[in-house]
Structure 1
Amino acid sequence: MHSTTQNSKNKPGFWAHFAISLTIVGGMLAANFSSKAAESFSVEVIGTGKPVLMIPGLMSDARVWRPTAEALASDYQLHLISIAGFAGKPAIEGDLLPKVKQELLQYIAQHQLQRPAIVGHSLGAFMAFNLASSAPDSIGTIIAVDGLPYLAPVFSRSNDTTAQMMQGQAAFLRQQYQQMSTEQLTAMTAQGLFMQASSDAHQQLVLSMATASDPKATGQALYELLTTDLRAAVSAITSKVLLLGATGALSSDAERAQAQQLYQQQLAGIAHATLEFHPQARHFIMLDQPDWLTAKIATALKD
């Protein structure tokens, strides 16, 4: 798919900037839950009620979800996940996202969480789709915040892209990140900050989390995102899915239509899926439009 905007070949446009941004992309702690539940992630638990896992995106941690969780804590028990290697959390060796999935499913079983809802942002949304397609009987409502079953079409602008086609580029990116210094990772992230959030304060939060992230872990996660295509697998999901997209950084109606088509195609195989966009929000919707997002999550969790 290609934008029909005038002079599109001469300006970077939404998808180029989004590719940059993605490649750089009330209660007390519950006594019966471990604050370090697994090697690949840690957990903070607040609130009481129906369980909800909240998973952040690439180079982010639980801080992005805490205000949303606090707004929901009177009705839900929120499990705020922070993934190894991101935002100052110690990195692990080997595969990252497959281990996160395995250990999250173990965490759900160990603590006897009954069909918890999963709220995920970006990479966290991919993890939500991964969990629900791998264990459909164990996972409840999915709320994906600006994240997809397969990342690569964001680069290619076409859902015809396959994981096999992306293998070489993914391996190259992983190698680049393995050789990257913290300063280089920070500089790369800074290039795409305007796509991430509107306010300077929120942009600096995104940047500070990236600066504290491990470049090798980031590269491994990107490799796995680009070479893991869940579009066929998500047909196994039986629970309700809500995908919330952000179009606040788009410059034209054509680009907004292109984004909506790409997102909608990735939901085609899911029986009970809904797609909504916020026209002003940027990628970190929870930072840009917190009231709107909290209201959407609350409604979806009640249905």
Structure 2
Amino acid sequence: MSKISAPARTLRALMLAAAVGWAAANIFSPAHAETVRVEPARVEAPAFASDRLSVEVIGQGPDVILIPGFASSREVWRPLAQRLSATHRVHLVQLAGFAGEAWTHGDGAFIQPAVDEVARYAKTLNKPAIIGHSMGALTGLLVAQQHPEAVGKLMSVDSLPFFSAMYGPQATAEGAKPFADQAAAAILNADAAGFRTQQERGAVGLIRNEAARPAMVEWSMASDRHAMAAAIREVMTTDARPGLAAMTTPVWAVYASDANGGAPAAVADAMWGREYAALPGVKLVRVDDSRHFIMTDQPARLDALVDEFLAKAD
């Protein structure tokens, strides 16, 4: 992993920013932050208790599970969830350890226990659609691989089956471990001021919408550092590509392109095309003029794609 191409360096820079400030950027729709709105009825999922996640339910209709990304609040999905609640029963997941949600697992495993609990919850529903962002999409992908009977369809929003592929096509999970350890150490060892600076810098590379960045930083600051370190270490060393070829769940992979500070279109097309090549029937959709947080940078475009995704009979 010592030789990295120029296009890969562009994406590597984004990955390293994500390693120390990813979830800080997860406010899905800051443009809606000051909008006065009528809140749909909401309830906590009454029959589901977990120390790995909580679920808020709004609306009635076909089931849709929304999973936020690294260090993000479920509020990242709030504008989309409110809109969908008119026609769907929306299940807003909050992963433990992120954005103030309690974390009781120290330096223990993060991703697989979260996958297990999302799957356990999904099995109480009627083959829900899952929409996940970033690490939340990786979680959904693993649920679909390990528990295909529990998932109706999956939309992955700016997420890869192996995040460290951003280092280049030669990357492996084993080779990514030193970088993953460095990312985790950067999270754990920074003092409060330094950590905030990390998050603020990371947010710039991950979202174009300047108004959204401060709220994203606060979500990250409210996250448990041990949970963040465990999660980023596992995200960077989890390779879900070997399971793609056997998948039967319909998958849409929506990804971002930004000629001004993000991944150029040609680089993004090559990356997503290569990394999802083994997945039968995957639909790849590029969203231009957006960085990692498509829901914030291009909310109308993502809304339209979600509507098309949910309406399609698979």
Instruction: Give the CA deviation at 1:159.
Output: 2.6
In structure 2, what is the equivalent of residue 190 of structure 1?
Answer: 200
1:96 aligns with 2:96: no
Q: Is the 8 A contact 1:183 1:211 kept in 2?
A: no
Residues 20, 35 of structure 1: alpha-carbon distance in 2 compared, 3 angstrom cutoff: farther
Q: Is the 8 A contact 2:262 2:290 kept in 1?
A: no
1:283 aligns with 2:292: yes
| Matched residue count | 290
Q: Is there any run of 5+ residues in structure 1 with no aligned partner, and where?
A: none
SS at 2:244 equivalent: helix
In structure 1, what is the equivalent of residue 15 of structure 2?
Answer: 19
The AA in structure 2 aligned to 1:208 is E
SS at 1:127 equivalent: helix
Pairing of 1:46-65 with structure 2 (within 5 A): 46-65=58-77
Picking from 270, 278, 302, the partner of 1:293 is: 302
Q: Is the 8 A contact 2:205 2:262 kept in 1?
A: no
1:108 aligns with 2:122: yes
Q: Deviations over 1:98-153 (max 9, x none)?
A: 111111111122xx212111100011111111111111122111111101111111
Q: Is the 8 A contact 1:59 1:218 kept in 2?
A: yes
Q: Is the 8 A contact 2:161 2:240 kept in 1?
A: yes
Equivalent-residue separation in structure 1 for 2:133 and 2:47 (angstroms): 21
SS at 2:156 equivalent: strand
Q: Is the 8 A contact 2:262 2:291 kept in 1?
A: no
Q: Deviations over 1:77-118 (max 9, x none)?
A: 111111111111112311111111111111122xx2121111
Q: Deviations over 1:213-242 (max 9, x none)?
A: 122111100111112100011223212111
In structure 2, what is the equivalent of residue 219 of structure 1?
Answer: 229
How much identity, in percent, do the aligned residues show?
A: 28
Equivalent-residue separation in structure 1 for 2:276 and 2:64 (angstroms): 22
Instruction: Give the CA deviation at 1:252.
Output: 9.0
1:29 aligns with 2:42: yes
Equivalent-residue separation in structure 1 for 2:188 and 2:261 (angstroms): 34
Using the size of structure 1 for normalisation, the TM-score is: 0.89
Equivalent-residue separation in structure 2 for 1:185 and 1:36 (angstroms): 34
Equivalent-residue separation in structure 1 for 2:52 and 2:171 (angstroms): 29
SS at 2:248 equivalent: coil
Pairing of 1:143-154 with structure 2 (within 5 A): 143-154=155-166
Equivalent-residue separation in structure 1 for 2:63 and 2:11 (angstroms): 35
SS at 2:163 equivalent: coil
Instruction: Give the CA deviation at 1:16.
Output: 4.2
Q: Is there any run of 5+ residues in structure 2 with no aligned partner, and where?
A: 23-38
- More moved, 257-266 vs 173-182: 173-182
Q: Is the 8 A contact 2:60 2:85 kept in 1?
A: yes
The one of the two structures with greater contact order (alpha-carbon pairs below 8 A, sep at least 6) is 2
Picking from 155, 166, 178, the partner of 1:168 is: 178
- More moved, 14-23 vs 138-147: 14-23
Q: Is the 8 A contact 2:16 2:183 kept in 1?
A: no
The AA in structure 1 aligned to 2:226 is K
SS at 2:285 equivalent: strand
- More moved, 269-278 vs 243-252: 243-252
Picking from 26, 40, 43, the partner of 2:55 is: 43
Picking from 270, 282, 287, the partner of 1:261 is: 270
Using the size of structure 2 for normalisation, the TM-score is: 0.86
In structure 1, what is the equivalent of residue 26 of structure 2?
Answer: none
